[in-house]
Amino acid sequence: MAKEGVKAREVKRQKLVAKYADKRAELKAAGDFEGLDKLPKNSSPVRLHNRCKLTGRPRGYMRTFGISRVTFRDMALAGKIPGVTKASW
């Protein structure tokens, strides 16, 4: 489980990226790299990191479900994810 501060920081970054997305696109199109430098560092989408929506785990993230592999396995075994069953042959 990630610390609450780490999760909050990531949410803050997501808001900044969304806020400056249009301005960043305009500056890039105009080739104004000095203007881009003046934007906040955390407004760059490169600084975002995918995290599990439930636990905040940064590694083993599954894009399709938006959760980590550990959480996915627990939920799949509990039958909480429709259409997912444990393979057996």
Q: What is the CATH number of the domain that holds 76?
A: 4.10.830.10
Are residue 45 and residue 55 in the same domain, yes or no? no
Is pLDDT above 90 for 82? yes
Are residue 16 and residue 41 in the same domain, yes or no? yes
Give CA–CA dist 86/15, Å, rounded.
Answer: 37
* Enclosing domain of residue 18: 1-49
- Residues constituting the chain: 89
Total domains in the chain come to 2
pLDDT of amino acid 25: 95
Are residue 28 and residue 56 in the same domain, yes or no? no
Provide the residue type at 89 as one letter.
Answer: W
Query: For 1-89, where are the alpha helices, taking DSSP H only?
Result: 4-30, 33-38, 69-77
Mean pLDDT, rounded, for 77-89? 90
The model's pLDDT over 23-79, given as tens digits with 9 standing for 90+, comes to 999 999 999 999 999 999 999 999 999 999 999 999 999 999 999 999 999 999 999
Give CA–CA dist 31/68, Å, rounded.
Answer: 38
31: left (phi over 0), alpha (psi -120 to 50) or beta: left
Binned at pLDDT 50, 70 and 90, residue 1 comes out as: confident
The model's pLDDT over 9-26, given as tens digits with 9 standing for 90+, comes to 999 999 999 999 999 999
Are residue 3 and residue 31 in the same domain, yes or no? yes
